[in-house]
A and B are shown apart, each in its own frame.
Chain A
Amino acid sequence: MNSSVLLSITTFAYGLATFFYFAFLIFKKPLLGRLGTWTVFTGVVVNAAGIILRWVESYRLGIGHAPLSNMYESLVFFSCTIGIIYLVIERKYKTSVFGAVATPLAFLAMAYASLSPNINDRIQPLIPALKSNWLIAHVITCFLGYAAFAIAFGISLIYLFKQRDAADKSNFLSHFPKSRVLDELTHQMVMFGFLFLSIGIITGAVWANSAWGSYWSWDPKETWSLITWFVYATFLHARMMRGWSGKRIAYLSILGFMAVIFTYFGVNLLPGLHSYGSG
Chain B
Amino acid sequence: MLLLSLAVTSIVGTVIPQNENPAAYFRAYGEFVYKLFNLLGIFDMYHSWWFQFLILLLTINIVVCSIDRLSATWKIIFVKNPLFNLSRFRTLSQKEVFTGKQNPEKLSTVYETVISGQFGYTRVEETDKGLCIFAEKWRWTRFGVYIVHFSVILLLLGGLIGSFFGFEGFAIIPEHEKIDSLRIRNTGQVRALGFEVLCDDFNISFYDNGTPKEYRSSLTIIEHGKPVYKKDIIVNDPLRYKGINIFQSSYGKMPSGALQKEKIHKKDPPEDITLNFASKESGNAYKIKAVIGKPVDLPEGLGKFVIVEYRKSAEFGGQNIGQAYLGILTPKDKNPINIILPLHFPNFDKMRGGAVVISVAEQETKIFNPGEKSDQRYYTGLQITKDPGVWVVYTGFIGMIIGIFITFFMSHQRVCIEIVKRGKQSQIIITGTANKNKLAMQNRIKKISEKLINLQ
Task: Name A's B-contacting residues (CB within 8 A).
Answer: 63, 124-125, 127-129, 131-132, 184, 188, 191-192, 194-195, 198-199, 202, 205-207, 209-216, 218, 220, 223-224, 226-227, 230-231, 233-234, 237-238, 241-242, 267, 270-272
Contacts and interface: CB of A to CB of B under 8 A. Distances in A.
A-B interface, 4 closest residue pairs, ranked by CB to CB distance from nearest: A230-B17, A220-B28, A128-B235, A223-B24
Given A205-B397, A210-B238, A271-B31, 12 more contacts: A125-B209, A127-B211, A129-B235, A131-B235, A191-B408, A194-B404, A209-B390, A210-B236, A213-B383, A223-B27, A270-B31, A272-B28
B401 interface: yes
B325 interface: no
Contact of A237 (B13, B27, B32, B247): B13
Contact of A63 (B207, B235, B237, B394): B207
Contacts of B404: 194-195, 198
B6 interface: yes
Contacts, number: 116
Nearest to B400: A198
B408 A195 contact: yes
A212 B214 contact: no
Given A224-B24, A230-B20, A213 B14 contact: no
Interface of B: 6-7, 10, 13-14, 16-17, 20-21, 24, 27-29, 31-32, 46, 159, 168, 207, 209, 211-215, 234-238, 245, 247-249, 383-385, 387, 390, 393-394, 397, 400-401, 404-405, 408-409, 437, 439
A128 B214 contact: yes
Contacts of A226: 20, 24
Contacts of B385: 213-214
A267 B28 contact: yes
A232 to B, nearest CB: 9
B24, B27, B213, B214, most chain A CB atoms within 10 A: B24
Contact of B17 (A132, A192, A231): A231
Given A202-B397, A205-B397, A212-B383, A131 B17 contact: no
Given A125-B209, A128-B235, A206-B394, A212 B14 contact: no
A218 B207 CA distance: 31
B14, B212, B397, B437, most chain A CB atoms within 10 A: B14
Contact of B27 (A192, A218, A233, A241): A218
A136 B384 CA distance: 26
Contacts of A207: 236
Contacts of B401: 195, 198-199, 202
A124 B409 CA distance: 39
Contacts of B27: 218, 220, 223
A272 B28 CA distance: 8
A186 to B, nearest CB: 13
Given A63-B207, A213-B385, A267-B28, A194 B10 contact: no
A129 B250 CA distance: 11
Nearest to A210: B236
B213 A270 contact: no
B394 A238 contact: no
Contact of A213 (B245, B400, B437): B245
Contacts of B247: 211-213
A210 B240 CA distance: 10
16 contacts: A125-B207, A128-B215, A132-B236, A191-B409, A195-B405, A205-B393, A210-B237, A212-B249, A214-B387, A218-B46, A227-B20, A227-B24, A231-B17, A234-B17, A238-B14, A270-B28
